Structure 1
Amino acid sequence: MSDPLGLINTSSINRPIQPVRTSGASAPDENLPSFKQVLMNNLEQVNRLQQEAQHAVEDLASGKRDDVAGVMMAKQKADLAFQMLLQVRNKMVAAYEEVKQMRV
């Protein structure tokens, strides 16, 4: 079969396959945050978004703010962040239940 457009690269067909190098378990990177830190940061961010949305609603109700679209966006952003957090929690609980049911 010919390739008139030159989309198929045939130069890599005759090269030998390189072996995969594994050096055992790699050490954790000291610069990366732990799972706990990532989870706590996300919890704080969701809480902050919910507080900002609540303040926006209160400001709209009191007349300090007249941007209804901005308030709705803040509420939707907070709701979406909370729904995502809820799904992460559900996945974590499901993983915990699965590990708990494993036989040792």
Structure 2
Amino acid sequence: MISPIDSQSQMLEMMTRLQQTASSERIAPASNSVGISEDFSAVIRNINQQQNIAADMMTAVDTGRSDDVIGAMVASQKAGLSFSMLLQVRNKVMSGIDDVMRMSL
């Protein structure tokens, strides 16, 4: 199980890498051949993992195995926010598809 401390250190590491990339003179385009469906699948798996971590932490608090109520609430809020963001992205994509379908040729 991933603890909140591990995920925070991973986020700090990712932010440091992004800052280094942004400070470089030229940002090269992504050269991977992965399609958008694989990207969405990876995002969904990540959000599912966050939901599972939050559920595990809440269960541990409920059963008395853990006293980290704040960590459980933060994990729960993070998972909820990630899911909400996923729904907003899905809504934007569907709206874009609807706009393309309404275009006349």
| TM-score greater than 0.5 by the shorter chain | yes
* Aligned twin of 1:17: none
Write out the 4+ residue segments of structure 1 that deviate beyond 4 Å after TM superposition.
none
* Aligned twin of 1:92: 93
1:38 paired to 2:39? yes
1:101 maps to a residue whose letter is R
1:82 paired to 2:83? yes
Q: Summarize deviations over 1:59-81 as a string: whole Å, max 9, x none.
A: 11001111011101100110110
* Aligned twin of 2:8: none
2:90 maps to a residue whose letter is R
Give TM-score scaled by structure 2 length: 0.68
2: CA distance, partners of 1:78 / 1:32: 29
Where do 5+ consecutive residues of structure 1 fail to align? Answer: 1-28
Pairwise CA RMSD: 1.7
* Aligned twin of 1:59: 60
1: CA distance, partners of 2:60 / 2:33: 39
1: CA distance, partners of 2:32 / 2:100: 29
Q: Summarize deviations over 1:21-47 as a string: whole Å, max 9, x none.
A: xxxxxxxx7524211111110011011
Where do 5+ consecutive residues of structure 2 fail to align? Answer: 1-29
2:93 maps to a residue whose letter is M
Question: Which has more helix, going by share of residues?
Answer: 2
2: CA distance, partners of 1:78 / 1:30: 30
2: CA distance, partners of 1:51 / 1:93: 27
Offset, 1:51: 1.0
Rg: which structure is higher? 1
2: CA distance, partners of 1:89 / 1:31: 23
Offset, 1:55: 1.0
Percent identical: 34
